[in-house]
Amino acid sequence: MSAIKVAVIGGSGIYKLDAIKVKNQIKVSTPFGEPSSDVMECEVEGCSFYFLPRHGVGHKFTPSEVNYRANIFALKKLGVDTIVSISAVGSLQEEYAPKHFVLVDQFIDWTKGLRKRSFFDEGIVGHVSAANPVETSLQTRLFEACQKAGVRSHLGGSYICIEGPQFSTRAESKIYRSFGASVIGMTNVPEAFLAKEAGMAYATVAMVTDYDCWKEEHCTVQEIMDVMKSNYISAQKFIVQAIPNLVKSPISYVPENKYAVITDPALHKNSHKEILEVILN
């Protein structure tokens, strides 16, 4: 286990940003299979952090194919306690325009049950509150980093996660707006909930690419990709502000998974103990 406590999970383009230096690649085994890729040890302004490309190097996994449990477990096994999620999203509200960043604080799970979403199964039962899935102190710190980087950003909002890989129909988009959701994406569930189960601080930086399809001005995939390129430039400025701050002045938080497991310890198998030793540590 290293002294590195901060990790970024994001798109394949993040680690290629000029400000980030990749120092090492670490292969981590987990009881849940292979993570999306080797974990990259990176550095920005002399501060080390881990980076994990959510969709694999080259973006080869769909949102439903990402091994979320392996990704979170691998980072926790390495000693990470703070996760910054960088994700592309569509906007469901007029005020969240393309190229804006939204620091959400809630998630709505609208996936279809295809994803493994808990570390507690197959003979071990545990429950962790998801009332506050985002660590507020981390969210605030990331918002401040966006402000210092000159990125137009918004504090608070709800992220609705759909299965994908297709984007929404217009009828669906209007339904999601009626829920009061702020942005829409395909990846932060179950990622956020697994981080909560593992006792890690988690917060999302949602980079708006388009207005989904509820507005009449429908965007093409190419137009969305062009906005994403601009967002990556903003993400670079954000990371330069956020990572050194988090490394030099770690956030303080209380994990909520200490009393999660309710299965009688006498029934714990060796495989259970291996998992619990990491996520409850």
In the chain, what is the greatest distance between 2 CA atoms, to the nearest angstrom?
60
In sequence order, the β-bridge partners of residue 161 are 109, 185
Q: Is 121 a catalytic residue?
A: no
Residue tagged active-site, from 81, 109, 212, 264: 212
Among the options 81, 105, 109, 210, which is catalytic?
210
CB 117 within 8 A of CB 193: yes
Q: How far apart, in whole angstroms, are the C-alpha atoms of residue 53 and residue 71? A: 9
Q: Is 38 a catalytic residue?
A: no
Phi-psi region of 39 (alpha: psi -120 to 50; beta: other; left: phi over 0): beta
Active site residues: 210, 212
